Amino acid sequence: MVEPEALGPLLRRLRLAADMTLEQLATAAGITDRALSDLERGASRGPRASTIDAIADALGIEAAERSALTAAARAGRKRGSAATAQALPLPAPFADFTGRDAELAHIRARIGSAPVDSPCPAVLINGEPGIGKTSLAVQAATQLAPRFPDGQFFVDLHGLADHPLSPEALLMQLIQAIDPSTGSFPPRLADVTAAWRSVSKDKRIIIVLDNAANEAQVRAAMPAHGPALVIVTSRRLLSGLESVERVVLSPLREQEAVALLAEITADRPADEAELHELARLCANLPLAIRVAGNRLASRPDRTAGGLLARMSDEQHRLAVLSAGGSGVGAAFALSYDQLSDDGKRLFRRLSLMYGSTCGATTAAVVEPQSLTEAEDALDELIELGLLQEAENNRVQFHDLLRLYAELKLREDDDPDAVSAARARLRNWLLDTAIVAGQWYEPDAAADQPELRLAVIDSAASAKAWLAVEAENWFGALAEAAELGEHQRVVDVAESLHWFSDHWLDWGRWHEVFALSSEAAGRLCDDRLQATHLGYLSWAHNFCLAEYDVAARFAERAFFFARRAGDRQQMAWARMYQAWALLTQDQHREALAPARESVEHFAAAGDRAGLPQALIGLGNVLRALGRYEEALEAIERALALVTDPDTAPRASIAYFTTISARAHAAHVYVHLQQWEKAVDAVTTALQPHEKPIPFQHRIRLLGRRAEAYQHLGENSAARDDLETILRLQEAADDDTGAEQTRTRLQHLPA
């Protein structure tokens, strides 16, 4: 007699042929996703006849296939009765389980470090909806099963249901599973706890408590003595639990997510680039990846490219990853529905953030409330796994949760209230950015305007805010540009241009000044266009090293400056152009704009610009080998900044002096006037109330070390090089540090 096909493989084949995801079939049949998954994976082999009928109806299969399905279930029930079935069985692990190697290794190491018969630390697996907490718990329990031969048990605590499993009901289930012969007892917690401790004593068992609602459920199931292992999963942090090993899950690493997709779609191979993009659109979230992978695997006529096209539409992505009331959206909804009204409203409003993270102050702006109230609401969102903690006391949610928040915002919030919240957030971010930037202006006032919530009372706190909120304030600036708030855009960029010198490696200054240049053009203001095109030239020159682009923007800046009759901006434009040409080794071409820059600054009476232009001219002359002329220009700059009658404001004079002495030292090195090079650097390095910027200090010490070496003072040279190395290591400048180590190795003793 031919054995019927096993239920699991048959059911999966019929489901895929019907073009249904696991979630769709479960919903249509009126059973849970987990029950259907257990059937397909073989964890459950003999379902009731009514369950099979419901599945067959949902599949819409013919009579022959229905008979085959019924026969497979009947055979499974027979095989199940022949064996000693354990109540509360551990579900079979996913055959295609992928990733989480680090987390599994950590759990095994913590459990394996304890003697076999000694108590084990409980393991609590936390994470957001759909992150794969249950699958990791089952995988860990399966791997550790040989160490716990007395049984492995799995209980769903229904933590997000209206009525989670009570501690009494949980313990009664566990007691009956471990010792079915246990008699009845009053359903009082004290009595059930005593019975549980008696039954579990000295048992080497694993208990997986899935989807815990609260600490009371978990504490009740902890054996008082013995080597039992308890693994708990929960969306909630369960912060009140003591002595537990916490494993907090993040989305899969990119390669792990792609590998999982490849496993699920093994019969439908896709281009690796398409798998990477699918994983990205799924935010590397295991549940989303399974839904997307099953959609691809279940449709022979569906391509990865077609699925990508549907998912690329943000408004449609959640619908693609949700099926029949289940999937990603349903998983998020279970947590969202647990929130208080205040928590729900803040969750929705956080989707208005421009960046990927925010702090309590920003949350208090987007949903007006006190800082304490905002912190409490954020804690609630973190507790339910709808936000994750990030660095610098900030929070974040991944792209899919953000899309869900945007969906709820559209569904539940008044459009006028949303517009008001967006405007409130945008204006607060831009107002704060302006105040923060002003701390870096040469004559920054100590009494800056007060800001709601943000405390910016120094240059250091200003830089900290601008850096941590960069994504948000830049997003607000871009939105202001889209809305036609041209003067607003110019004002923000103007306030930040001094600060930009202190954060060269940010990488987006060219975008900031491109927006402000465009805004200045829309305002039809030639002088503003010249100014902000100059800033844009600076950004391409010093931040991006795109010198040809910098030269083109400098030429455009000069055009508008000349049309406006603004000699000062004409001077800056020519200086930017000379810098760009010089950096491209176009030394002869750089000479004319460098000389023009000096002439225009002198004509404009610009005390700050003229010395810098002279230093720039000196650099061009030095590059041309005209060292005496270069030194003459630099010394003229030094004379201007040290003479009270011609010196600029003190802060600018200080840094210009340092720059001039550094460039003079460079010329002295070329002239082999080593003593003068040492004197120039030593004078520049004299203590001052303002610290010398990192790169300036590096260059000065490097020049002096070279001069010392030529003077035969190798010990002094070594001291300077070792100082440079310490500075580079502290700044994580690996390339510079390696070059300095090489110089030290070749320095004679």
DSSP 476-523: HHHHHHHTT-HHHHHHHHHHHHHHHTT-TTSS-HHHHHHHHHHHHHHT
Tokens of 340: 């208080």
Q: What average pLDDT does the segment 321-342 reach?
A: 84
Mean pLDDT of 409-424: 96
Q: What is the pLDDT of residues 352-399, one digit of tens each?
A: 999 999 999 999 999 888 889 999 999 999 999 899 988 888 999 888
Is pLDDT larger for residue 380 or for residue 446? 380
Q: For 148-169, what is the mean pLDDT?
A: 89
Position 83 confidence tier, pLDDT thresholds 50, 70, 90: very low
Judge whether residue 350 has pLDDT over 80: yes
- Residue whose token pair is 């300095």: 740
Query: What pLDDT is recorded for position 85?
Result: 39
Cβ neighbours for 296, distance < 8 A, ≥ 6 positions apart: 264, 265, 268, 270, 302, 304, 307
Instruction: Tell whether the model's pLDDT for residue 114 goes beyond 60.
Output: yes
Mean pLDDT of all residues in 703-710: 92
Distance of CA 299 to the CA centre of its chain: 34
Taking the CA of residue 315 as centre, how many other CA atoms within 13 Å lie in the half-sphere pointing to its CB? 2
Stretch 524-534: mean pLDDT, rounded?
97
2 vs 689: which has the higher pLDDT: 689
Is the pLDDT at 93 greater than 70? The verdict is: yes
pLDDT for res 445: 58
Question: What does the pLDDT read at residue 121?
Answer: 85
pLDDT of res. 63: 87
**Structure confidence by residue, pLDDT tens digits, 121-149:** 899 999 999 999 999 999 999 999 999 99
Per the prediction, the chain carries an average pLDDT of 88
Residue 536: closest CA among 549, 527, 523, 526: 549
Q: With bands split at pLDDT 50, 70 and 90, how would you rate the model's confidence at 78? A: low
User: How high is the pLDDT of residue 516?
Assistant: 98
pLDDT at 23 over 80: no
Residue 247's φ and ψ, nearest 5 degrees, are -120, 110
Q: What mean pLDDT is predicted for residues 691-700?
A: 80
Residue 45: its pLDDT value, please?
64
Give me the pLDDT at residue 305, please: 85
Give the model's pLDDT for residue 8: 80
Residue that wins the pLDDT comparison between 108 and 226 = 108
pLDDT on residue 655: 83
Tokens at residue 327, please?
A: 């999937």
In this structure, what are the phi and psi dihedrals at residue 341, rounded to the nearest 5 degrees?
-60, -40
CB of 92 closer than 8 Å to CB of 139: no
Q: What is the pLDDT of residue 183?
A: 63
Mean pLDDT in residue range 469-478: 97
What percentage of the chain reaches a pLDDT higher than 90? 57
Report the pLDDT averaged over residues 297-310: 81
- 633 versus 114: which is more confidently predicted? 633
CB 530 within 8 A of CB 560: yes
Write the DSSP symbol of residue 204: -
Q: What is the mean pLDDT of residues 623-636?
A: 95
User: How much is the pLDDT for 1?
Assistant: 42
pLDDT at 178: 87
| pLDDT at residue 39, rounded to an integer | 80
- Asked if residue 9 has pLDDT above 50, the reply is yes
Query: Residue 543 carries which DSSP code?
Result: I
Per this entry, what is the length of the chain?
A: 749
Query: What b-and-e string marks burial along 21-33, b requiring 16 or more CB atoms within 10 Å of the CB?
Result: bbbbbbbbbebeb
Tens digit of each residue's pLDDT (9 = 90 or more) over 35-60: 777 787 665 666 777 788 889 988 88
